[in-house]
Structure 1
Amino acid sequence: MIACDPLGAAIALIGAAGVCGVFLLALGERLFPLVPSAGLFTAIGAAAAEGLWCLPAAAIVSVLGSSAGVVGTYHLGSLARQRLSGPRLRRMLRRRDRRGRMLRAARRSAAALPFTSQLMPTARILAPLFAGAVPHNRTRFLLATGAGLAAWNIAFIGLGYGLVSASSPLAPLPLGLS
């Protein structure tokens, strides 16, 4: 039986492209979520620890690639909003029942909700699409989403880097164990 490691193959293939490959992986993760993002960014960090690319550059470029994917999916949602907007959407926002209150609360928490949605595995992919479909402050949404995805990407890249660095035979021993 032949073992198939699509993530390892992607990292090896993209490694030749340097940090441009990291950008493409992060962008692809947002547009075509075939590989879990936690695994992808951990693998990027591990590859950085092995010298495939510089750790700070990989972190920054991954955030830029993810941001480009967020803008793309947000734009798709806003195109849907333009097709569906009008009196029906305004009526939904003015409703006095539970749904109307939830929609208005989501609009008011336009910074907290996008940040936290980027820290939840499935919601992080769908949140920009849904956010584009609801009228709100776009700049505030994109800044909060960017901060959330930066926290997610950098945490997992750091995890991958730390795991490979700690398992390396050249890694320094913790204090008191030498």
Structure 2
Amino acid sequence: ALLVNPPAPQTADLLCGTGIDAVDRLGKAADTVEYRTVWTAVLGYDFEIDVPYYALVNADKEHKVGWIGREECKPGHVPDGESILVVQASPDWSIERYDRSPEQNVADLARHAAAIIGDQRLADPDWADHQGWRYALPDEDVQDEAVRAAARDGGYVTGDWGAGDARLHAAVRNGLEPPLVPTEQPGGAPWRH
């Protein structure tokens, strides 16, 4: 059996051309799943941010920043007297700037965070980190029949692109729900753990 978990486009690269009809079909189906790209900056400050909320969300999807989260609002995540912002760019901003300099992207997102929160000190973090996800959030899930056909031949899919919802809990549920969980090998022999 084969169990795969990368984003759909990367899974498609692995599966297409295997010579196993159901697995090849699954690869072709995976190749059709569209994704949103997301670029994120993590910004650290040696001072506390005094605002009455733990996060801001771009509800109308019209801004360059998708959301801002305050890690210091989570017990034990940040030392006293410090702040950490997780600033996630919108998909459009992320696509446009994905291959640009990480330093410039971090600086731009820090300036956006400062403007959104209304505290210009936030434009100059004491430290920063970043991560880009070219395949962050699937816009749709894979064709169900392709998944089921591959499972009948011992190929199993986990992940949010097979779950119908681009969230971690959906990906976990997708990996745990039959018929996608391989409880026995093709032919009926149980898996040894």
Q: Same fold (TM over 0.5)?
A: no
Work out which structure has the larger RCO, using CA pairs closer than 8 Å and 6 or more positions apart in sequence: 1
Give the TM-score band, short-chain normalised: under 0.3
The structure with the largest alpha-carbon Rg is 2
TM-score by length of structure 2 reads 0.24
TM-score by length of structure 1 reads 0.26
Per residue, is there more strand in 1 or in 2? 2
Per residue, is there more helix in 1 or in 2? 1
